[in-house]
Chain A
Amino acid sequence: MQKLSEISFGKEYVIHEILDTELAQKLLEMGCTPGEKITLERKAPFNDPIAIIVSSFMLSIRRVDAKQIIVKQV
């Protein structure tokens, strides 16, 4: 288990849990449900925000929010 903000390129992860309720509402409806695969795609300059690929689309998210997302490496 690790935070989404700490994942590295080239590895595959699945969403385990979104800790923050408000953030969870936003992400769940976009299809970021527990069990969905996540890969790290890009980092913006200064490493923030980051862009991830989740259920086949690219999504950018700030590092501070990524800390609220717990993922598991597969």
Chain B
Amino acid sequence: MESNKIKIALAGNPNSGKTTLFNALTGLRQKVGNYPGITVEKKTGNSKLDETTDVEIIDLPGTYSLYPKSIDERVAQQVLCNKEDDSYPDITVVVADATNLRRSIFLLTQIIDLKMNVVLALNMIDISISKGIIIDVNHLSNKLQIPVVAINARKHEGINKLKKAIIHTRKEKINSFFFDIKLLFKDVIEDTNKIRGIENNYASFLALCMQEMSGEGKIRIQLFDLCKKHGFNYSRAQAQETIRRYKKIDEVVENCTTIVEVQKNKSFTKWLDDVLIHPFLGYVVFLSVLFLIFQAIFSWSEYPMDLIDSFFTNLSMWTASVLPKGVLNDLIVKGILAGLGGIIIFVPQIAFLFAFIAFLEDTGYMARVGFITDKLLRGFGLNGKSIIPLLSGAACAVPAVMTARTISSWKERMITIMVIPLMSCSARLPVYTLIIAMMIPAEQSWGPFNLQGLVMMAFYLLGFLAALATAFLLKFILKAKERSYFIVEMPSYKIPDWHTVLYTIVEKVKIFLFDAGKVIITISIILWFLSSYAPGNRFEKIDAKWAGIEDAEASITAEKLEVSYAGIIGKSIEPAIKPLGFDWKIGIALITSFAAREVFVGTMSTIYSVGDNSNTQSIRERLESVKNPDTGKKFFTNAVGVSLMLFYAFAMQCMSTLAIVRRETNSWKWPIAQFLYMGVLAYISSFIAYQILV
């Protein structure tokens, strides 16, 4: 049954309302996956056209044409041109922005020429009318020889009419075309048809144009020879075809639209742009927006994060008491549940961050942010589109890495992804807080400013500067695969659609939970194993030693951790971390915080056997009393504190980020490179700081 489902592809320009229509058609019945072998997101969803017709809808990446220039466009092209492709649709719905009819129907006519069943969904017709552009829908339908339905995707208007049109179109067999490509390249196309064994002129033309990008073996060589024979230069051919096609489109558009004079006040968009792109005010507004977002993320997430935390604490305690004692109990409670808790705790921050980003994106503001920051970031090998991923990194690197998708240049995207984890994320906050509290008395101030707060801010700034500096270096290391552009449409400002915002949140949270989640759980289990097992009968000896002594739980846990595999690793790396001022105990904390940085606090409290490990105050007091066995003085000196903070600022101690980087780059190469360079950076800076300060 599943395979007989009618497949519908949604195609359209970026900002055409394609995703809004997709959401309107499918609701939450959506799946996000990847196209095989590439990192382009594949969004599919189920819908019903009527009581009896179930359909699967594929949301293709937004493109302006079918010419494959980026991986996104390649996907759209591959799905629509290859009848054998799993996703090859029975019907393609092209979503067009009525205010940009000319540009929107360019893609449409290309798809028509592939001899596909096409329906045009004409979106935002109300806005076009208010701009004085009246489109004769019936006339347009006649001219294009396909059904045209006016819709308003946001208000869910015209959706039923669209569904009816789709059902109707399905039964038709279309053999017309819009622009005859043979007019331009008759011979070479006929030869290509023969080689490909398919009588589809436009598909053959596109196959010729994309032969460089596809590795189709024998056919590729034949096509290459063919181009040589006919003197076919694909980029020139594309340009030629585009211009001719647009000429024809211009005739149609002119024929079907009437321009009426509307009273033009200075538009809302212009008025807003005066402020938002202003050379001074633009940055002020942007920084204020950022400030608000971070305030909100930190303060609003706190409550749900506390809830999740206590939920998992309770669940762990409950599970531990219900299940029989033993390995399984331990594995579930300390391995799996701890890992799950560590993942789910980030969901509120991810949700809030994406709520803001989706909201601002939908208003059209994001394009402006890129516009005012592009020049500044370009010097560092980045792009205007890098600003949002970078700043999101200050909340959490995981969603930040996901937002880097919008950067179309491969090099700029990779640089962005590589430097994001240097931004001080919220997981560093508890570590910084603890160490700063140990080094600086709360009441100490520097002028009117609280010194603790200043140091905290300095470390955030340090992260940002390190990210820029690294980006600058990577600019010379990475080879660009393509030229970088900032050709971005700046859409008119709109009131955001809360549906879109909601769907974005659900989608991103799902990706995080399921894709990164798998890796995180695996590593959590490994970490659990390392810290709860020891070679030989060491644990039994500890149990025997403390047997019968009351309230020894904390001491037993601490001693067991010391002799466990994690403890062994901690001790074995001690020589390496001694020059940074760290001992083997910190070594263990470094290893366990690989699960997530904030685990540092918990591990420190376990290892120094602080009974209550939820109380920062008690951990601090305990740590402050620790003496250095060599000197007999305080162990946590300022030198150790600064060194430790620098290490946490720079080291890549977050498996969630590594997992998401692997997912986004589709290779282990990048997360490994990231882990190594950040590790080296952390080691060297801690080393220098400690050696100077000690």
A65 touches B243 (CB 8 A): no
Q: Is A24's beta carbon under 8 Å from chain B?
A: yes
Q: Which residue of A lies closest to B249 (CB)?
A: A31
How many Å lie between the Cα of A20 and that of B375 in the bound state? Answer: 21
Q: Is the CB of A31 within 8 A of B102?
A: yes
B318 at the A interface (CB under 8 A): no
Range, interface on chain A: 20 to 34
B486/A33 in contact, CB under 8 A: no
Is A7 at the interface (CB under 8 A from chain B)?
A: no
Closest CB-CB distance, B281 to chain A, in whole Å?
A: 10
Task: Report the stretch among B64-72, B325-333, B545-553, B642-650 that lies at the interface.
Answer: B64-72
Which residues of the partner chain B approach A65 to less than 8 Å between Cβ atoms?
485, 487
Number of chain B residues close to chain A: CB under 8 A: 41
Q: Chain B: which residue is nearest A42 at the CB level?
A: B277
CA distance in complex: A24, B378 (Å): 22
Complex-state Cα separation, A58 to B277, whole angstroms:
13
> Do residues A21 and B239 form an inter-chain contact, with CB atoms below 8 A?
yes
Q: Which of B239, B243, B282, B486 is in CB contact (< 8 Å) with A45?
A: B282
Kindly identify, within residues 386 to 420 of chain B, every residue whose CB is under 8 Å from any CB belonging to chain A. none
Q: Which residues of B contact A28 (CB under 8 A)?
A: 238-239, 242-243, 246
Instruction: Say if the beta carbon of B344 comes within 8 Å of chain A.
Output: no
Counting residue pairs across A and B whose Cβ atoms lie within 8 Å, the total is 107
Determine whether A55 belongs to the interface, using a CB cutoff of 8 Å to chain B. yes
CB under 8 Å from chain B, chain A span 4-39: 21-31, 33-34
B486 to A29, Cβ gap below 8 A? no
Contact (Cβ within 8 A) B103 A30: yes
- B480: chain A residues within 8 A (beta carbon): none
Q: Is the CB of A31 within 8 A of B486?
A: no
Among B100, B283, B487, B492: residue with most chain A CB under 10 A: B487
B106 within 8 A of A: yes
Residues of B within 8 A of A25 (CB): 67, 69, 235, 238-239, 242
Contacts of B375 in A (CB 8 A): 44-46, 48-49
Please name the residue on chain B nearest to A47 by beta carbon: B375
Contact A60 B282 (CB under 8 A): no
Inter-chain contacts of B483 with A (CB < 8 A): 22
Which residues of A come within 8 Å of B, CB atoms? 21-31, 33-34, 42, 44-46, 48-49, 51, 55-62, 65
5 A-B pairs in the complex with CB atoms less than 8 angstroms apart: A26-B487, A30-B489, A48-B374, A55-B103, A60-B490
Apart from A25-B67, A58-B491, A59-B487, 17 more pairs, CB < 8 Å:
A27-B487, A29-B64, A29-B242, A31-B102, A34-B243, A44-B371, A44-B375, A45-B283, A45-B372, A48-B374, A48-B375, A49-B371, A49-B486, A58-B490, A59-B488, A60-B490, A62-B485
Pick the 4 closest A-B CB pairs, nearest first.
A29-B65, A45-B279, A31-B103, A58-B490
